Amino acid sequence: MKQRGFTLLEVLVASLIMGVAVVGLLSSISTSLRHAARVTDYDRVALLARAQMDALLLDRRLPWFTMIEGGFDPALTNGREAGWRARVTPFEMPISHGVGASILERVELEVWWKNGDERRTFTLDAFRRKILRPDDLTALAQLRQ
């Protein structure tokens, strides 16, 4: 009488192969979740940075060469500490510039956030046109001294 089925050795080998496959699969899922969390944090901060850059571009009274700083609400950053620093500088100016001359300003925005003990940053640059005012010329004169 011939019996059909698997021997104990065959079942053990099959279980071992399945165990190795499951461990490999769980390891890759864990790595994927860590990367997805990092991308989510980056996307969240990138959206906040774009909104902050829009606010800076709309504010025409920002002083040149002065570092402006602020923070983001932790409710918007999933409880992570995050903030920004910005600076406005003249970028392109005609040789003979005076009050009423059109120039190009550069707005630099550095955004940072904490990921555990690690501080991550990225920088955005934007440009805008501006008509020179008397106080702009005073700031330029003070810089040259």
pLDDT exceeds cutoff 70 at 144 = no
pLDDT exceeds cutoff 80 at 125 = yes
The order of strands in the sheet holding 118-131 is 68-71, 82-92, 102-115, 118-131
Q: What is the distance between the alpha carbons of residues 118 and 40, in angstroms, rounded to a whole number?
A: 16
- At 85 the pLDDT is 97
pLDDT band at 78 (very low <50, low <70, confident <90, very high): confident
**Residue among 123, 135, 133 at smallest CA distance from 103:** 133
Q: Model pTM?
A: 0.71
Cβ atoms 72, 144 nearer than 8 A:
no
pLDDT exceeds cutoff 90 at 27 = no
Decide yes or no: CATH 3.30.1300.30 for domain 8-144: yes
Choice among 34-43, 106-115, 124-133 with the minimum mean pLDDT: 34-43
Cβ atoms 70, 49 nearer than 8 A:
no
Classify 120 in phi/psi space as left (phi over 0), alpha (psi -120 to 50) or beta: beta
Q: Is 99 exposed, middle or buried (0-12, 13-18, 19+ CB in 10 A)?
A: exposed
